[in-house]
Chain A
Amino acid sequence: NAGVMQNPRHLVRRRGQEARLRCSPMKGHSHVYWYRQLPEEGLKFMVYLQKENIIDESGMPKERFSAEFPKEGPSILRIQQVVRGDSAAYFCASSIQGAENTGELFFGEGSRLTVL
């Protein structure tokens, strides 16, 4: 009965490198959300995906950031050519129906990205 699994928990990258964050939703959940959080702040919506589809990516920067949720395997949030401002905690959440219907998201423990 595993919850939402995110890895890596901690990731250190130098400016210009790529960061790849993975999220395995709860079993039976086909809706995935990615959020970004800075210390002592709320969560900023980035992207909402269902299997093989991006439903809403309006919160994601248009450059360097991309997300996918393939038919098989985890959802991936990819940040190319990282900059120091990308340093943050990135949280993934899954839902069985979509948050607008159930209101309940199950969160992973987050991936903390540090860009040197």
Chain B
Amino acid sequence: TQLLEQSPQFLSIQEGENLTVYCNSSSVFSSLQWYRQEPGEGPVLLVTVVTGGEVKKLKRLTFQFGDARKDSSLHITAAQPGDTGLYLCAGGGNQFYFGTGTSLTVIP
């Protein structure tokens, strides 16, 4: 059972545009993580959100944890080609689940 659904699955945008990626679940998580994966490599942690309603910023990336701790979003401002990659949300206990993923392509 996939607990973390991400949308959209694929996203192709022009350099300079803004975008938002969503991660939704019917389950409550004590924390959620966002990872980024580049082709041929393993995922790398971007951020962890813990408190409901929490907002964290990492340069042009803004992460938000839903008030009920069931969902999260990632907003990228003025996307750049270097942002291209697979974005994954993750969370859980012993079964540490990853979301279905959003494949982002930023066109120069």
Instruction: Report if A and B associate in a common complex.
Output: yes
Q: Residues 1-27 of chain B: 1 if any A CB is under 8 Å from the residue's CB, otherwise 0?
A: 000101000100000000000000000
Cα-based distance from A75 to B4 in the complex (angstroms)? 27
**Range of interface residues on B (Cβ < 8 Å):** 20 to 34
Give the number of A-B contacts (CB < 8 Å).
Answer: 69
Q: Which of A69-97 contact B (CB under 8 A)?
A: 91, 93
Which of A43, A109, A110 is close to B98, meaning CB atoms less than 8 Å apart? A43
Q: Which of B35-43, B67-75, B76-84 contacts A (4 or more CB under 8 A)?
A: B35-43
A56 and B31: CB pair below 8 A? Answer: no
From 74 to 108 in chain B, residues with beta carbon under 8 angstroms from any chain A beta carbon are 86, 88, 90-101, 103
What is the total number of residues of chain A having a CB less than 8 Å from a CB of chain B? 26
Contact of A109 with B41 in the complex, beta carbons under 8 Å: yes
B48 at the interface (CB under 8 A from A): yes
Instruction: Tell me the A92-114 residues at the B interface (CB within 8 Å).
Output: 93, 98-100, 103-105, 107-110
Say whether A42 contacts B98, CB under 8 Å: yes
Q: Is the CB of B33 closer than 8 A to any CB of chain A? A: yes
Let me know if A109 and B40 touch, CB within 8 A: yes
Interface check A45, CB cutoff 8 A: yes
CB contact under 8 A between A41 and B101, given known A105-B45, A107-B42, A109-B42:
yes
Verify A99–B92 contact, CB threshold 8 A. Answer: yes
User: When A41-B101, A43-B88 are in contact, do A108 and B94 touch as well, CB less than 8 Å?
Assistant: no
Q: How far is the CA of A41 from the CA of B102 in the complex (A)?
A: 8
| Contact present for B91 and A103 (CB under 8 Å) | yes
11 pairs from A and B in contact (CB 8 Å cutoff): A40-B86, A42-B99, A43-B88, A48-B95, A48-B96, A91-B43, A103-B33, A107-B44, A109-B42, A110-B40, A110-B42
